[in-house]
Each structure stands twice: as C-alpha cells, then as structure tokens.
Structure 1
Amino acid sequence: MKCRPTRLFLLLGVILQAQARAASAPYPTMAPLDRYLIPDRDVEIALARSAAPKSISDSAEVLVLGRGGYEVAVKGANGFTCLVERSWSSGIDDPNFWNPNLRGPLCLNAPATRSYLPITIEKTKLILTGKSKAEMSDAIKSAFENKTLPAIEPGAMCYMLSKDGYLDDRARHWHPHLMFFVPLTEAKAWGADMPGSPLLAAEDAADRLTIFMVPVAKWSDGTPDSAH
C-alpha cells in the first residue's frame, strides 16, 4: 500500500509530460486531406498569383494542389511558376509540418522552377501517397544522393509578397519578402542575421540549401506593409 502514492506521482508525471508534448506539438499528425485542399480552383490560382506583382504573375505558370499532387492549372510564358505551398514544405522538425491551415503562396523564377520546385513536388507526392515524415525525409535524402533531385541552380529565387498567405499560427502572413536559394552555406558569409542587416537566413540541411530572405516594403498589390 505504501508504494501507491509514489506510483500515483509517477503516473501524474507521465501525464503532465504527455500534455506538455502535445501543447508544444499542436499538429502531431496529418489531418484529413480535404483540410489541405482549396475546393475552389480559381481561388487557389488567385492566391498563388498574389505572391508576385501582376507584371510577373499574370504570365507565370500556375500550379494547384489536387489529390494526386500539384497540377498545372494555367500554362505560363515567362519562366516563372506560382503555387501555394502546404505545411509539409516546412522543415521536418517544424511544429507546423502538419498544420492544415498553412498556405504559402510563392512565385519562383526559372532557375528555382528547375531546381527548387522539384523538391516541393517530390515531398508532396510522398506525403499524398501516405508516407510518414521520417519516410519522406529518407526518400528526399536518397533522391539527392542518387541525383534524381537537382542541386539548386545559381540565381534561384522567389517572390513571397502575398498579404493573403498563412505561414504559421503566430506570424500569419509575416512580411512581404524575397527569397534567394543557394547551396547550403553559412549565413554569416552573406552577413545575414547580423545586427543592422536586412538579410535573414534559414539553413535547411535536409534540402541541401540555405534560404536568404529580404523583407520589402510593399505587398504584391502595391499596398504598404503596415508592420514594415
């Protein structure tokens, strides 16, 4: 009988730890697929195009997400590709990896279309065929090793100027910004993340790239970023 309080405390400790883990991981598993889809195709096309000024996005190819992966909704003529990324384009350890609310509109230039977009396409295919995060990560690693996924090309970049995006539960649409993709490198080599530097960086070892971000003053429709 004397051991019961100790066991009770241990049980309470396990429960509290589980609750803490759940609180820190609000999206522990994939939601039903319908929650990641945008039912109205025209709405998704418009959201994708909102990532860049009309002078770019009006002639860009546009992809939309279907049940089998991304599909071409509008043929392009200027080398750019616009789409709305979903949560699994986040880093493997990102708490938003399974967040069904995430919508990341971006317009990729031609080098990024050839070398960054295939990563997004492949991740999406793996997730929609039922792969787990770990299985997806292993498959992407193998694809890079086998050179079935290309290395990032010089000059690869994208526009993320949509005020209607939803990048996570805290930042929402964050700030309008440009992103530059380079092979994995140290942020300090570009002076990123240093006091007074306008340049931010995110290293993604799994995708073998570093993303440099430059916030800008206006959204794609020309209105100012009030928080800039």
Structure 2
Amino acid sequence: MRKKKVRAIAIKSFALLVVLGTAYQATAQAVTTPSPATPYSKMAPVDQYLMTDRDAEIALARSAAPASISRDAGVLVLGQHGFETAVKGTNGFVCIVGRSWTSTVDAEFWNPKVRVPMCVNAAAARSYLLRFTKETEWGLAGRTPAQMNEAISAAIARKELPPMEPGAMCYMMGKEGYGGDSVPHWPSHLMFFYTDADLASWGANLPGSPVVGLNDPLEHLTQFVVVVQRWSDGTEYREGSGAAHHH
C-alpha cells in the first residue's frame, strides 16, 4: 500500500498543482483515505462517471490544447469498462478527459463529477497514457486506492507498463473541466514526464522558479509542471477564470 506521506507529496497526475504557491501544504491537508465522513466514501454508479453527450466529451478533451494541435489529435472517451477510441488522430497527440481515479486527491477518489481534460504527445501516449488508462479501468472495476496502488506498482515491476519515453509531455490548457471539490479548476499549464529524474536538473521548486516538480518513488515517475499565461483558446489565464464543469 502506498504510504500516506508519499501519497501526500505525489498525488498521481495533477494534484501537485493545487494552486502552485500553496500546492504542497494544501494538498497534504486534503489527501486522506476516503472514510464514511466524506461524501465520496464509495463508488458511485458507473453511469455517473460517464458523459452522456459523446460530442461534448470530445470537445472537452480537445479543449486541453490549442486547436492547431487538438484538431488533428486522436480522442478517447470513457465507456463502461474503460477508454475507447472516438477519433483517430493524424499528428500523434491524444486528447482525453480524466476522471477522479487519476485526476484528484484521494479524498475524492470516487467523486463522479471530476472532468480533467488533457492532450498528450506521441511519446506520452506510448508511456504515460498507458498507466492513465489502466488506472481508469481499475477504477471502473471498483478497486480501492490501496488496491490500485498495489496493482500499478506490480505492473511497473513486471514491466507490463513501460517507463516514460523521452520527451513525454501533455497540454492541460483547458478553461473548462472540473478538478474536484477541493480544487475545482487547475491553472493553464504544461506537464513533462520522466522516469526517476532529478528535480534539481530543472531547478524545480526553488524560490522564483516557474517549475513545480515532484517524484513518485513507487511509480518511478517524475513530473514537472509549468504554468502558462493563456488558455487553449488564446484568452489570458487569470486565477479563478476557469469555466463550469461538464456532466
């Protein structure tokens, strides 16, 4: 089982962004194993995690990157048992809308409202995205956070899931979406994925550095985050300027 300390520092994919300046403190306070006192102590019906409007899910997924990238990208949408190909791309990018199992803190592991769009490049599609979609399958199957942690660690150890490919990254510049009750809207940002990289090599987390970084030793995953000044539609990013989430 993943230790709470590690989980508080490395909340899977995105929770390191909790508002950047206060990310680590806010996240550590928010990360707890779901309990009967939380509104998301168990899995909701599967249908609540799905989007009824397939076209809306495609549009939301593509909103993660500028149209010059996303219009030719492949798109995955969530079905009853996992992600399915809705659009075959031509430029190597893949756009997808993450759900609670991969895109929020543990206290909201079962939150059916979470919708976090991202577009990964080809290198990430061949490495990072494989973990992302596998964890979603496990979430839909009802696995708990502890069971998922054990499964992902075992899959990496058995080399069933590959290390990060050089150059793996993703765009998360969507104005819409919903990151959860704790952090409803992420800043507009880019993410870069490595296997066991040195945070100091990027100058991450240093005073004045625009780079936020963290290591997840269990997954051998290093993530660097850089906030950008505009949303994917070209409008200026301002804190709190994200739109309402989709169902």
TM-score, normalised on structure 2? 0.78
**3-state SS, counterpart of residue 55 of structure 1:** helix
Task: List per-residue Cα deviations over 1:32-70 (Å, max 9, x = no partner).
Answer: 212211110000000000000001000000000000110
In 1, are the aligned partners of 2:100 and 2:110 still within 8 Å (CA)? yes
Contact 2:189 2:227 in 1 (8 A): yes
Q: Which amino acid aligns with 1:68?
A: H
Name 1:85's counterpart in structure 2: 98
**What is the DSSP-based 3-state SS (H/G/I as helix, E as strand, rest coil) of the residue aligned with 1:95?**
helix
Which deviates more from structure 2 when the two are superposed, residues 125-134 or residues 158-167?
125-134
Instruction: Indicate which of 182, 185, 188 corresponds to 2:197.
Output: 185
CA contact (8 A) 2:43 2:142 kept: no
Q: CA deviation at 1:78?
A: 0.3
Q: Distance in 1 between matches of 2:204 and 2:39?
A: 30
Q: 1:98 to 1:204 in 2, by over 3 A?
A: farther
Where in structure 2 are the equivalents of 1:40-119 lying within 5 Å?
40-90=53-103, 94-119=106-131
- For the residues of structure 2 that align with 1:25 and 1:151, how far apart are their CA atoms? 35
RCO (CA 8 Å, sep 6+): is it higher in 1 or 2?
Answer: 2
Return the match for 1:124 from 136, 155, 161.
136
Q: Is the 8 A contact 1:162 1:173 kept in 2?
A: no
Superposed displacement of residue 101, structure 1: 1.5
Moved more, 165-174 or 147-156: 165-174
Structure 2: how far apart are the matches of 1:226 and 1:151? 35
Match of 1:220 among 225, 232, 237: 232
Worse overlay, 26-35 or 177-186: 26-35
Give me the whole-angstrom Cα distance separating, in 1, the residues matched to 2:148 and 2:206. Answer: 33
- Per the alignment, residue 159 of structure 1 pairs with 171
CA displacement 1:94-151 (0-9 Å, x = unmatched): 3222221111100000000000011011111222223222222211111111111000
Structure with greater Cα Rg: 1
Runs (5+) with no aligned partner, structure 1: 1-20
In the other structure, the counterpart of 2:151 is: 139
AA of the residue aligned to 2:59: A
> Which of residues 21, 25, 49 in structure 2 aligns to 1:36?
49
Report the CA distance between 1:196 and its aligned residue.
Answer: 0.6
CA contact 1:90–1:96 (8 Å) conserved in 2: no
Q: 2:165, 2:205 → 1: CA distance?
A: 23
Report what 1:172 is aligned to: 184
Q: Structure 1 length as normaliser, TM-score?
A: 0.84
- For the Cα contact (< 8 Å) 2:72–2:89, is it kept in 1? yes
Q: Which runs of 5+ in 2 are unaligned?
A: 1-33, 241-247
DSSP 3-state at the match of 2:108: coil
Q: Please, which moves more after superposition, 110-119 or 126-135?
A: 126-135
Aligned equivalent of 1:13: none
Equivalent pairs counted in the alignment come to 207
| Helix, strand or coil at the partner of 1:193 | coil
Query: Offset at 1:25?
Result: 4.3
Q: Is the 8 A contact 1:61 1:74 kept in 2?
A: yes
1:142-162 per-position Cα deviation (integer Å, ceiling 9, x unaligned): 111111100011100000000
**Cα distance in structure 2, aligned partners of 1:188 and 1:105:** 29
